[in-house]
Structure formats: structure tokens, C-alpha cells
Amino acid sequence: MSRPVLLITPVLCALIAVGLLSGCGGGQPGADRPAVVPVKGLVLYDGKPVEGAMVVFQPEKHEHGAAGLTDANGAFRLRTFSPDDGAVPGEFKVTIRKTQTSASGGGAEADDAEHPEGQAVETWLLPKNYSNPATSGLTATVTEGGPNEFKFELSN
């Protein structure tokens, strides 16, 4: 008897990771939490808006990362503790990732490897280098005074 394959979307994984990076708030908003400021931005790939990309701001000097998902216009708003609250001021390395996960029909290729039937296959819809803070080349400085609006223009 075969077991169904559980596919967890990369977006869900990224949101879980941001939640772990952010830590637990102790119940009360503001309790042991640093101040955040609104952060928004735009993601373009070859000049066109990117819908459904996960944008992650990974802090260089504190422990509170932030993330957001792009809409149909390529726009995003960051979340650290609650929806659209923004990010803690500071320096960040930025990653942007958009993938599609599907079950393989056997012999399908993704990530330059063959996958047996029923195995999850992840297809990269943006260049893979943008998903790694060491290779993305993307940075951002979030300031208390703002404006904290960022435009990321990606290309091959």
C-alpha cells in the first residue's frame, strides 16, 4: 500500500523559519520586543513584477528577521511579530525565493537531478542565487526615520 506524499510549500517553510528567527513574544505585544518600523518594497524580475515570491530580511546584528510575500504587482510588506508590522531597524541581507513544488510523475527533472515517481520536485522560478544570503548580493538598511521602501531588480 502506498502512502500519500506530504508536500510542504517553500512559502510555509520560510514563514516557519521567520517565526523561529523572531522568537516567542511572551504573549503581550511589546513585551521584550524591540520596536519595528513599517517596511515595504517591490520585486521585479527582468523588469516585470514577481507574484508569490518570499522576501526574507536576515539581520546581521540582531536576532529578529522579517519576511513578506509579494502580491500580483510585485509589492510586499514585511512582518516580524504580526502581519505587516515591519522590521527591527538595522542592516539586513536579503533573500528572494520563488519555487513551485509538485509530485513527480517519474523521470521529471528539477535542480538538475532525476526524481522517482511520487517524490516532491521543487522547480526554481527565480535564479537560485537570490535564495541564499551568501550569494544574493541583496542588502537593505532599515532606519527608524524611514522611508523604508526597497526595490529589488532581479535578472539572470
Domain parsing of the chain, residue ranges: 10-22+35-151
pLDDT band of 154, cuts 50, 70, 90: very high
Tens-place pLDDT, residues 86-142: 999 999 999 999 999 987 654 434 454 565 666 888 999 999 999 999 999 999 999
Cα dist from 64 to 16, 108, 131, 153, whole Å? 13, 38, 18, 25
Phi, psi of 128 (to 5 degrees): -60, -30
